[in-house]
Structure 1
Amino acid sequence: MTRLRRIAVHVDEPDPGHFYWVLMEEGDDASEWEERESADEAYDLWLDALHAGVRALEGYATDERIGPRAAGDDEDANPVG
């Protein structure tokens, strides 16, 4: 099985009271992170933005048992663990 993708969710507040979720993925170098996706519209509450970001992150996992995997994964392989 290929590696689990390292995707992080965080909340950004470019203007006071306007919260946006952002998904970042680790690049080839562990010190480099690339933006994958972000909210189109602001949320009034930080927690609402965070929850929406987590839902977006969940969409990257085609199988909830093993999470989001790198390209070329064998979806029929048994999960490890």
Structure 2
Amino acid sequence: MNSRIRRISVLVDEPEQGLFFWVLMEEGGEAPLWLEIESAAQGYDTWLDALQAGTRALIEYAFDERIGPRKLGGDEDAAPV
């Protein structure tokens, strides 16, 4: 079974001053396009609180913390797009 690491990033958005939301984005397709895969349901009072919560959400995508979040299929030896 081949798998490759998923390219997921955490970003923090501030739609209104002083209200911060984490957003998980994943690189999708062959073009360098980032798609939202999950976001905070409620805002946070500080940027750091939102970032830490987003990081915890990202960790949940890793079934094994030693190898990170994986996508099944694909060629592990293939060059990254």
Fold similarity call, TM over 0.5: yes
Query: Runs of 5+ in structure 1 lacking a partner?
Result: 73-81
Aligned residues: 73
Q: CA RMSD in A?
A: 1.4
Q: Which runs of 4+ in 1 moved over 2 A?
A: none
Distance 1:24 1:6 in 2: 8
Indicate the residue corresponding to 1:17 in structure 2.
18
Indicate the residue corresponding to 1:76 in structure 2.
none
RCO higher in structure (CA 8 A, sep ≥6): 2
Identify which range, 25-34 or 55-64, moves more after superposition: 25-34
Question: How far does the alpha carbon of each residue in 1:47-78 deviate from its partner, in whole angstroms, 9 at most, with x for none?
Answer: 00000000000000000011000035xxxxxx
Distance 1:67 1:12 in 2: 24
% of aligned pairs identical? 64
Question: How far does the alpha carbon of each residue in 1:14-61 deviate from its partner, in whole angstroms, 9 at most, with x for none?
Answer: 000000000000001241011000000000000000000000000000
Indicate the residue corresponding to 2:60 in structure 1.
59
Structure having the larger proportion of residues in strand: 2
Query: Runs of 5+ in structure 2 lacking a partner?
Result: 74-81
Normalized against structure 2, the TM-score is what? 0.84
Indicate the residue corresponding to 2:33 in structure 1.
32
Indicate the residue corresponding to 1:75 in structure 2.
none
Normalized against structure 1, the TM-score is what? 0.84
